Amino acid sequence: MPRRAQHSKEDLVELALEQFWTAGYFASSMDDLVKSTGVSRYGIYSAFGGKEELFLACFEIYQKMVVSPAFAQVEAPRADLSAARRYFECQIQRASESGLPGPGCFVANSATEVAPVMPKAKAMVEAHNARLKSGFTNALNNSGTGDAKVVHALADVMVVFTNGFWSTSRITNDAGTLHSCVDCFLNMMEEAVK
């Protein structure tokens, strides 16, 4: 009789996400994935076909577990820049509780590590950034100016800041620096939409 799988596909992806998020794609060998997930090479290949497919599956679970719970407040119909501030503050608190420097943002990490050489990862990074831009556009529209051109440009700047911000969280152990950066940046955004 064949052995039953001990992990569901979703469990496997969640465990693999932790490995990829902290170590990166290229530094995570199949042996590392076997150790971190508790699933054999055969089990990983059977479920996903290989390391790349497993990595790509991590994007969806990351959106579900990390991005949506935090960013949904910015996407709410009446959200304004105070919702963006709460989003950053909530994420700083989460990073502080798990220990700084932390792993940063899985998607921002993927943008610099694998997106240049893995077209499917690039498309997922672009979709994530489009989601951020849409949410920030919403918050900016509810915060002041009705000038669509200004809002479009500022939303792009907010996406760039967000990605740089999470990269910085990988090298600092000072949450105060992160709070100061968010405060300064969002004060500038609030002035820009007056």
Q: What is the dihedral of CA 166, 169, 175, 179, to 10 degrees?
A: -30
Say what the pTM is. Answer: 0.92
The pLDDT confidence band at residue 84, using thresholds 50, 70 and 90, is: very high
Q: What is the DSSP letter of 24?
A: -
Q: What average pLDDT does this structure show over 13-39? A: 96
The pLDDT confidence band at residue 1, using thresholds 50, 70 and 90, is: very low
Each residue's pLDDT tens digit, 171-181: 999 999 999 99
Each residue's pLDDT tens digit, 27-76: 999 999 999 999 999 999 999 999 999 999 999 999 999 999 999 999 99
- Determine the 3-state secondary structure of 182 from DSSP: helix
Each residue's pLDDT tens digit, 97-149: 989 999 999 999 999 999 999 999 999 999 999 999 999 999 999 998 779 99
Q: Measure the CA–CA gap between 28 and 33, rounded to whole angstroms.
A: 7
Q: What is the pLDDT of residue 144?
A: 87
- Are the C-beta atoms of 157 and 80 separated by less than 8 Å? no
